[in-house]
Chain A
């Protein structure tokens, strides 16, 4: 028996130590720093000292990493669908039904090579699209983007543009209010923790559940910060139709509007501030534009207008008018952090019909209270921005666009194909002759990117081609994309000639593929990365106590016949004739070394020391470090001073301005007035609009319950659920009944009783789009009239396998969410106000 080895790695939920004995992983632990590592920072506030423990933390589901790696769901060998014949009958209609036959890697590569070449010759490069998964296994070079982006861009393919799925309203809405398009619509967050601990009196969590969503990337460091806020006596108010996990434990007040009606409440708050004259006049007059028009609208002085009183709002959102008034007054008199508007502010409200309006109104309320004033700011989920030295140079995985290797390579890959497709419309783009939409997915370079008129396929003379092949690198759109039944339909469509997936586990849509390639996990390969660092649009979004740079060790050899995506693409690039350009003669070790050399690490540690130790803790800022709090420069009429190198105004004549056309926070949007003057769904000035589904939609009579589907608590998208039996033992995640792990749906007693539903019963949640079997979790934490089922179950288990529209008993609730997008010109997903009915189900 060999000695135990302790190696380092990093996951999508924190940096870890991996214990290995006899080539088997025995345990996963946080990294505990030793005496030589950097000391922790200390914040002094209100007579107390706050300092974090000198270790990393982990999202709870990361504790299942070992079980996930040795999961029985692992794809072990390359597999070919048994009735797929590339030279004869492809049997597209049998995808999802047919079994598989094991093949060798050589056969798999041969098939890939011949199919890619055939499709290139027959249709052109644009006939292939490829897609990578969000947030599977971490790393800088080998994460979701690196090898994927370099290979496909060098080859040329139809790019599948992602939608900003977790923060739609901010991206398509708030960009027109405060700019921040370079942050995809959310404010940067710097030095917020110290700001809050020193000055803030109240934290308002509107549509967010940080103790649920913040296990990702940085582990759970932020949970301790929120506890500090609590210990300092800050009042915590939660606005959410569901008394979410953070609210249930810590709320001083829980306010529950109907889903997709928050805007009425926001307008009523503005009404109270205007009529009681408790808003920041100086800020509104000097730092915003269009307030007078907004004021007249709120007061009802426009033609056909009405006063947006709390009494009006009560009829819409079902929160008592007196409580709206009390909330407005409390917000007016207390220094308040609005804990939304960041990647950790992702939950319900920004992903619903007309979510643009909600996000815009949030910014306007912040402005009316003086955004950037001491203790008054936007603090994403109260989860971000401890004291941090951002001058230390290290990279995030999206710092060089799609080709991470380009950070240190001679050549950055550029796509030669102009045609694009859109994640939310992929089934339509494959099945239909012509699909049109607007916008470019992530519009991080300019507001104008939101104007691009898209069509797929592009005309042939522009290099367009119908999509005939999909290469899917990990993950599952079945269950994560809206109206998921569109995907089985697409996979079985004759237009789709070849569907390949490379993945770690048999996921919900793996069994629709013609060719299945086994990929290893992040603990079976080498890489380098900074804990939680996305780079790019998310650069400097720090939610961990320390900047930790990790040498990710290959803890065990890849299991079975699995390989890294990088290896697969190396071989494919060889067969397709650009291996030398792809690798530039590097192997993964030399790539890692080049990243190290380009970072600031060589000033502190040798490569050999770093590799030996496995991690490096960036020293925290010195006590005399000059703080620069997000948005404070704007409030104080100074040039932007936060350490956001992506802010295009920095160091220019526009350095005092926000990223809107006027440079001010815009109550009335200049950009929308110019480009969409008649858009009733995203008007030039935001306000409540009756949502097209939910309380007001045409289906409301037939399907009276409104369902929310926020991000879940015990998995990162589909990457942990259904890979390990341990998560099935957590009743808040799945409920065992008759030996089957069902998905819970939260429902109030008032809605359960008339339907004859008791706690623990099997129920069918359904609408015209489909039906999903759940176990009923009857709870007082749900606002009556609404139910909640978390999205991204990783178990698609249709009762009629391979039949689109079949009832699912695995919990894929996105089968029921609408394909319709936020609004006509805001192409985001709207999954948190879904009209459904629910009834008992006899298994």
Chain B
């Protein structure tokens, strides 16, 4: 059976080291791969890039990096936009922009809803990640970005082979598309993309001590969860929807009930919540 290449990106494992980004530069920037890609300029094209996300407010903050690369779409808009068959999909699923036929076709850049195609001004050429097809065809097991990842946050392999590591993760962990609204297909899927959190710290007002083991609940938008505060009195509700309304409650016996309405326009740090008798 033909190969069907896919990638799973686990954001929880990404430390933001940029090794993928720099390995891609090493492989491609200024380097021509005849039959696959023309040489992109030394700077300006990021065939894999990291979106850096800082969330929350001092001191309840989180920092994540989301690697983004060509989704190798099932029905690529770039193919539809191209003339003369200048963009094509290989049997293994990788989408290639022909570096000769695509000259002058700037509309290919703008056709991409995912914004991962770059314009080479000097060569008048649309360019993007070719999944290191030029290496895979030589027997490499994975693209350079994946080989360099120190934590295996990037996983690559044959989705048609149920024994491949990537197939096993797809089966077991149900990765998902980052932008389902664009309907790009399932070649590049994600795990643990941060959603919104609501966090805070519970404090006994009278003793000014951290309130450990206090039950905090959150309700709304189909969510009904509770959280036992840790030794710092901290609670973190993660995986919440964006721009949604929730109610956070603390009903600790012997203390006045706390009830707060929150809206997740951003991640929410409720700060210190004081339990009063």
Is chain B found bound to chain A in the same assembly? Answer: yes
In the complex, whether A29 has a CB less than 8 A from a CB of chain B is yes
| Alpha-carbon distance A67/B23, docked complex (angstroms) | 11
Once A63-B25, A253-B232, A726-B22 are accepted as A-B contacts, the answer to whether A224 and B56 lie under 8 Å apart by CB is no
Check A211/B15 contact, CB under 8 A, given A731-B52, A780-B58.
yes
User: B22, A63: Cβ atoms under 8 Å?
Assistant: yes
Given A227-B151, A245-B15, A253-B232, residue A27 in contact with residue B63 (CB < 8 A): no
CB <8 Å contact, B52 and A732: yes
Given A66-B26, A726-B22, A780-B54, also A322-B61 (CB < 8 A): no
Distance in angstroms between the alpha carbons of A257 and B111 in the assembled complex: 50
1/0 per residue, CB under 8 A from A, across B33-57: the answer is 0000000001110100000101011
* Contact among A53, A60, A321, A780 for B22, CB-based, below 8 A: A60
Q: Which residues of A contact B62 (CB under 8 A)?
A: 248-249
The reply to whether A224 and B150 contact each other, CB–CB distance below 8 Å, is yes
A205: interface (CB < 8 Å)? no
A17-35 residues at the B interface, CB under 8 angstroms: 26-30, 32
Contact with B along A773-785 (1 / 0, CB 8 A): 0000001111110
Of B18, B23, B65, B208, the residue contacting A714 (CB under 8 A) is B18
Residues of the B chain whose Cβ atoms lie less than 8 Å from the Cβ of A327: 232
Among B61, B64, B203, chain A packs the most CB atoms within 10 A around the CB of B61
Q: Does chain A have a CB within 8 A of B190?
A: no
Q: Which of A67, A323, A325, A326 contacts B25 (CB 8 A)?
A: A67
Question: Is B232 in contact with A323, judged by CB distance below 8 angstroms?
Answer: yes
Quick one: CB contact mask for B190-207 with A, threshold 8 Å, 1 for yes? 000000000000010000
Chain A interface size band reads 35 or more
Chain B residues within an 8 Å CB radius of A249: 14-16, 62-65
Q: Is residue A457 contacting chain B, with contact meaning CB distance below 8 A?
A: no
CB <8 Å contact, B16 and A245: yes
B148 contacts which of A63, A243, A714 (Cβ < 8 Å)?
A63
Assess the A253–B61 pair: CB atoms within 8 A: no
B25 contacts which chain A residues (CB < 8 A)? 63-64, 67, 726
Min Cβ gap B241→A in Å is 22
Q: Are B27 and A27 in contact (CB under 8 A)?
A: yes
- The CA of A249 and the CA of B16, in the complex, are separated in Å by 9
Q: How far is the CA of A248 from the CA of B56 in the complex (A)?
A: 11
**Residues in B neighbouring A511, C-beta threshold 8 A:** none
Q: Which residues of A contact B92 (CB under 8 A)?
A: none
Chain A residues in 8 Å Cβ range of B43? 725-726, 728-729
Q: Which of B45-93 contact A (CB under 8 A)?
A: 46, 52, 54, 56-59, 61-65
Q: How far is the CB of B58 from chain A (nearest CB, A)?
A: 5
Q: Which residues of B sit under 8 angstroms from A782, Cβ to Cβ?
A: 58
Pair B19/A220 contact, Cβ less than 8 Å: yes
- Taking CB atoms, residues of chain B closer than 8 Å to A783 are 58-59
**Interface residue B233 (Cβ < 8 Å from any Cβ of A):** yes
CA distance A325 to B203 in the complex (A): 13
A533 part of interface (Cβ distance < 8 Å):
no
B136 at the interface (CB under 8 A from A): no
Contacts of A248 in B (CB 8 A): 54, 61-64
Taking CB atoms, residues of chain A closer than 8 Å to B151 are 220, 223-224, 227
Contact at B234–A253, with CB atoms within 8 Å? yes
Nearest B residue (CB) for A245? B16
A53 CA to B23 CA, complexed, in Å: 18
B31-A781 in contact (CB<8A): no
Supposing A63-B26, A220-B150, A326-B210 touch, asked if A256 and B17 sit within 8 A by C-beta, the answer is no
Kindly provide the distance from the CB of B255 to the nearest chain A CB, expressed in whole angstroms: 16
Docked-complex contact B203 and A60, CB < 8 angstroms: no
Contact partners of A729 in chain B: CB under 8 A: 21, 43-44, 46
Chain A residues 797 to 833 lying within 8 A of chain B, measured CB to CB, are none
User: Contacts A223-B151, A725-B42, A726-B29 given: A60-B19 contact, CB under 8 Å?
Assistant: yes
Counting CB contacts under 8 A, is B179 at the interface? Answer: no
> Closest residue to A334 on the B side, CB-wise?
B231
B249 at the A interface (CB under 8 A): no
Partner of A29, one of B29, B147, B150: B147
Q: Does B144 contact A (CB under 8 A)?
A: yes
Report how far A26 CA is from B23 CA in the complex, Å.
Answer: 12
B209, CB-defined interface residue at 8 Å: yes
B57 to A: closest C-beta gap in Å: 5
A254 beta carbon closer than 8 Å to chain B: yes
Q: Which residues of A are found within 8 Å of B64, using beta-carbon distances?
A: 248-249
Output the least CB separation between B238 and chain A (Å). Answer: 12
Contact A57 B59 (CB under 8 A): no
- Interfacial chain A residues near B59, Cβ < 8 Å: 243, 254-256, 783
Give complex CA distance A243, B55 in Å: 12
Least CB distance from A273 to B in Å reads: 15
Question: How long is the Cα–Cα vector from A223 to B25 in the complex, in angstroms?
Answer: 22
Give complex CA distance A714, B208 in Å: 42
B150 CB contacts on chain A under 8 angstroms: 57, 219-221, 223-224
B228: chain A residues within 8 A (beta carbon): none
CB distance from A53 to the nearest CB of B (A): 8
Q: A224-B151, A726-B43 are in contact. Are A325 and B18 (CB under 8 A)?
A: no
Whether A246 sits at the interface, judged by CB under 8 Å, is yes
B178 within 8 A of A: no
Residues of A contacting B54 in the complex (Cβ-Cβ under 8 angstroms): 248, 779-781
Q: Judge if A730 is at the interface, Cβ distance under 8 Å.
A: yes
- Contact present for A780 and B61 (CB under 8 Å): yes
Task: Kindly supply a per-residue 1/0 record for chain A positions 235-261, scoring 1 wherever the CB is within 8 Å of any chain B CB and 0 otherwise.
Answer: 000000001011111001111100000
Task: Let me know if A322 and B203 touch, CB within 8 A.
Answer: yes
Q: How far is the CB of B119 from chain A (nearest CB, A)?
A: 17
Q: How far is the CA of A292 from the CA of B257 in the complex (A)?
A: 46
Is the CB–CB distance between A67 and B61 below 8 Å?
no
Within the assembled complex, what's the spacing in Å between the Cα atoms of A63 and B43? 15
Knowing A211-B15, A321-B208, A732-B16, say if A326 contacts B232 (CB, 8 Å): yes
Q: A199-227 vs B: 1/0 string, CB under 8 Å?
A: 00000000000010001000111011001
B65 contact set on A, CB distance < 8 A: 249
Contact, CB under 8 Å: B22 / A323: no
Give the docked Cα–Cα distance between A671 and B254 (Å). 55
For residue A748, CB closer than 8 A to chain B, the reply is: yes
- Determine how close the nearest CB of chain A comes to the CB of B144; give it in whole angstroms: 7
Collect the chain B residues with CB atoms within 8 Å of residue A784's CB: 58
In the assembled complex, the CB of A71 is this many whole angstroms from the nearest CB of chain B, namely 11
Of all chain B residues, the one with the shortest Cβ separation from A26 is B31
**Cross-chain contact B18 with A326 (CB below 8 angstroms):** no
* A252, closest chain B residue (CB): B230
| Cα-based distance from A383 to B14 in the complex (angstroms) | 17
Chain A: minimal CB distance from B21 (Å): 7
Give 1 or 0 for each of B205-217: 1 = CB within 8 Å of chain A CB: 0001110100000
Contacts of B58 in A (CB 8 A): 256, 748, 780-784
- With A29-B144, A249-B16 as contacts: A243 and B22 at CB distance below 8 Å: no
CA of A534 to CA of B60 in the docked complex: distance in angstroms?
Answer: 39
Least CB separation from A784: chain B residue: B58
Which of B56, B63, B64, B209 gathers the greatest number of chain A CB atoms within 10 Å?
A: B63
CB-based contact A215/B61 at 8 Å = no
A330 at the interface (CB under 8 A from B): yes
Determine if B147 and A67 form an interchain contact, defined as CB atoms under 8 angstroms apart. Answer: no
Judging by beta carbons under 8 Å apart, are A326 and B233 in contact?
yes
Q: Is A379 an interface residue (CB 8 A)?
A: no
CB under 8 Å from chain A, chain B span 225-249: 230-234
Within 8 Å CB of B31, what residues of A?
Answer: 26-27
User: CA of A784 to CA of B59 in the docked complex: distance in angstroms?
Assistant: 10
**Any B CB within 8 A of the CB of A58:** yes
How near does chain A come to B166, taking the closest CB pair, in angstroms?
Answer: 15
Q: Which 4 A-B pairs have the closest CB atoms?
A: A248-B63, A63-B22, A220-B150, A60-B19
Q: Could you show 5 A-B contacts with beta carbons less than 8 Å apart?
A: A32-B147, A220-B19, A227-B13, A248-B61, A249-B64
Q: A57-B148, A714-B18 are in contact. List 18 more A-B contacts (CB 8 A).
A: A26-B31, A27-B26, A29-B23, A29-B144, A60-B19, A65-B26, A220-B151, A223-B150, A243-B61, A248-B61, A248-B64, A249-B64, A254-B59, A256-B58, A330-B231, A725-B42, A727-B22, A732-B18
